[in-house]
A and B are shown apart, each in its own frame.
Chain A
Amino acid sequence: MQSANMLLRRIVRSSVLPFAAQHGMKKDLLLLSRTLSLSLCLKQDKSCEPAEKLDLDEWKKVMKSGLQEEVIETASEPKELSSLAAARETLEMWRLAGRAVPENISEEQLKTFMECPSKSAKKKYLKYLHLRELHKKNDKRKMDEKRERRLEAQDQASETDETKNSSFICLWSHTMNKAYNWRAAQSMIFGQPLVFDMSYEKEMSFREVSNTVRQIVMSESSNRRSVDPFHIHFCNFKDDSLYHREFIKNYREAWDKLLITVTDQCYTEIFPKDKLIYLTADSPKVMKTFEHDKIYIVGSLVDKSIKTGVSLARAKRLGLETAALPLEKYLLWSTGAKNLTLDQMMHILLTLKDTADWKKALEFVPKRKYCGFVNKPVKELKKTLDLINTLKLGKGREKVEKQFAKNYPKK
């Protein structure tokens, strides 16, 4: 109905049909406009050829007639736009053209957008903002739905008015937190240290740093929840660095109450060198067992571009022992880089610490990156893989083989 009204308004406005409009012929709009195209002869003759009846350029009239008023509306605006406003205008046009562009964009984001060095960088940034906006919208929608459902449930509960009788004590989250914090406090005295090396800020872009901090926040929380937490150290941590600012963004006032050690010292100054092991995927040495008297170092680095050997270089410079996870030994690797996210590393290390079971620990490697666990010698696996691929009509077989050869080079 709304659109019909609008159409009517436009037609009235366009004064193509003053007569009909005056007489309030609101019904049968389509019929109305068709007869209109018969150049007002008001002939209701249906035997006419349809092609004659159609005025193909009528849409132009509609477009132009709708315009006149809008032009008047906008005429008072200043003609010359500032560069920011112009950029906003361009974005609006891109959005109309159906590109991945966010609906709302803040001044700051707009400035970042304008500072992007190339067209593709601009496109990427906009796509990122667009997706983030979509996610936020979806989350909000889900929250609203959830709230509604909860309210409904409450209504129902109040109607039935059951008295709850439970023999369990209800543990609220702050009680749980207290228990966790107690454990974390204990770990700060007796726990095994785990070091996050915060010296990679220069190697990363802003987005990479914020991703890093997100991952560390997640690792910290899973550490806190574990049975026997690590004593987490943030080493080489500079106050007022990008890391620091991002942490405060994530933790807010909880940042000062975290049960971890934050220091600007290097790990080599705090711990004896021979106890330190730097974990890096580039390391030539493969970790065999988890050692409880060693101090493992994880580089706080998200590497979206190709920067091989950055953390290995750091360990080499300090003369530290290095180790990589035995991913190839236990997993039949398929795709993806062998560097894992920091929270995955934390899960793996925590599991190793508790159980010393590699299989259980490596469950935390993303499933898309491997085909399965290695339970037979690699040679036999290769045979079965070959068989499977020949059965699958041999398509893509070479590719798989190449991948295999790359992951398991002949020693």
Chain B
Amino acid sequence: VQPPEKPLQAEEWNKLREDFQSPEIFEEVMLNNMIRCNSPVDVAKSLLTQLAKRNGDIAYNVLVKYLTLCVRQGQVSEILDVYDIMKARFKILESGAYNLLIRGLSNSNQWRMALTVLEEVKKMMIPSRTSYESCIKAASRHQEMKLAFELYNEMLAKDVVPTLDVLQSFFDFSRGMKGAELQKELFGILLYLRENQIYPHKTFMRSIKLWFESLPGGNWRGHLTKIKDSGQCPVCNHQLEDSNLTEEEYSNLSERIIKDVIHGTDTFRKTTPEELEAFQTFVENRLPFDIVIDGLNVSHIKSRRMQCENLFDAVNSLAKENARLLVLGRKHMLMNSSNWKTEIMKEMQNKADFFFAENISEDDAFLLYATLRSGKHCRFVTRDFLRDHKACLSDTLTRHLFRKWQRGHQIVLKKKLFLCFSQQPAFRYDCVVQTTGDTWHIPYKDVFEEKYSYQVPRKWLCIHQK
């Protein structure tokens, strides 16, 4: 139904209502359509008046819908009126209405009211991130940065994840403002990005850049750049952080991989204890390897060719620099079949070490173990993104470590037309927000959308002091 353009009389509403197929929900449907068409508030008011006259009461959900319309159009006095009515009529409200009230009030000159509503919400539940967002934005818009940061820290303490918008608004609104305290807080946000491996998008990056450049007396200059493969920034010649993990992180990660990924809740789910032990002694006797290859994954690179030929090519192209190779496979590869020729398998076994797992075991877990056990220089070859293994890790910190390690150590074989295999190099530098005190390097995304979790941005913002 099309909402009318002008306020109607009660009779006219009644007529419309009777013509409607299910009169019980007429008001709801009509208000929904009004919200969709952004009808004038007066029209909605006339509908409510008719409803109030007929029933002597207006249901809560209808009130909330009317409130939505008011918030949409920024009708502050109406919002306040509805809030008064609701407060008098109901003991408490639910989160939807609170969110609307906070959003509506924070955009007006009554923004302090939004804060009192937020306080009210806190008594009952954890406010939503959008509520916090509205309040923080309102506070920082009115230059009350201290209040804004209080809310922000409170939000973090409650494990509510801030939106990128909120973070950006801090940089936007503190542009040109002085104060060591404020500066510290903003650096804190950048470190928050670093710890959670969040990459700002282009407009956010611009806000950061402008804020730095606006700092009075700081002489900061920002440049957009791309980092060389060696990990050197072409603008300030600064060497970025290494992608290698620290000793502690490294041993932590390998421990967790064995505990969570290989053993998990039950060792039998991915392998058997005997097999695991056999594998461990096998690896310990031949350490260290330079490259560990996921045989089955590599053998499927070209579907037209025989699987053992694919593997053979891969082993040949990787064996060149006298590297010690370990190929992980399954027992069925040893059976002479149309895809696996015994002669070729024999020839390969002269060039590399092979370990064949049971056909129902998971070889990926072994791949991770062998690589980690061989040391930091060891890399591994597979096209698998290893997402399921990452998911086995129990906490986010270890998952981040895993991603970082994976970026630095995974070689991806790509098929090309003439060159048989080419390697996508592992990253030598770490892709996170980083600082040395007088320089900041911030990776950013070109678009707002999320990229794949295994991808890292290639564009950087370099900020240094003159």
Contact = CB atoms under 8 A, between A and B. Distances in A.
Given A56-B46, A90-B125, A313-B268, A97 B53 contact: no
Interface in B151-204: none
B54 A7 contact: yes
Residue picked from A7, A11, A62, most chain B C-beta under 10 Å: A62
- Greatest chain B CB density within 10 A among A59, A64, A86 is at A59
A55 B49 CA distance: 8
Given A51-B7, A93-B93, A67 B64 contact: no
A63 interface: yes
Nearest to A319: B272
Interface string B36-60: 0000001001101101111111111
Nearest to A32: B53
A372 interface: no
B90 interface: yes
Contacts of B272: 316
Given A30-B53, A57-B45, A314-B268, A96 B59 contact: yes
A79 to B, nearest CB: 9
Interface string B356-369: 00011000000000
Nearest to B360: A284
B81 interface: yes
Contacts of A144: none
A306 to B, nearest CB: 9
B55 A3 contact: yes
Interface residues of B, number: 45
B336 to A, nearest CB: 16
B334 interface: no
Contact of A60 (B53, B85, B125): B85
B270 interface: yes
B234 interface: no
Interface in A59-74: 59-60, 62-64, 66-67, 70-71, 74
A89 B95 CA distance: 12
Nearest to A283: B360
Interface in A88-105: 89-90, 93-94, 96-99
A60 B81 contact: yes
A54 B270 contact: no
A30 B92 CA distance: 33
A316 B46 contact: no
B91 interface: yes
B387 to A, nearest CB: 13
B92 A89 contact: yes
Given A98-B61, A309-B270, A58 B92 contact: no
B85 A33 contact: no
A62 B88 CA distance: 13
Contacts of B92: 86, 89-90, 93
A309 B361 CA distance: 10
Contact of A71 (B81, B88, B97, B359): B88
B18 interface: no
A34 interface: yes
10 contacts: A7-B55, A59-B49, A60-B85, A62-B53, A63-B57, A89-B92, A90-B94, A313-B269, A316-B360, A317-B268
Interface of A: 3, 6-7, 9-11, 29-30, 33-34, 50-51, 53-60, 62-64, 66-67, 70-71, 74, 81, 86, 89-90, 93-94, 96-99, 203, 284, 308-310, 312-314, 316-317
Given A59-B52, A97-B94, 18 more contacts: A3-B55, A33-B53, A54-B9, A54-B49, A57-B81, A58-B53, A60-B81, A67-B85, A86-B92, A96-B59, A96-B90, A97-B60, A97-B61, A97-B97, A308-B269, A310-B266, A313-B268, A313-B269
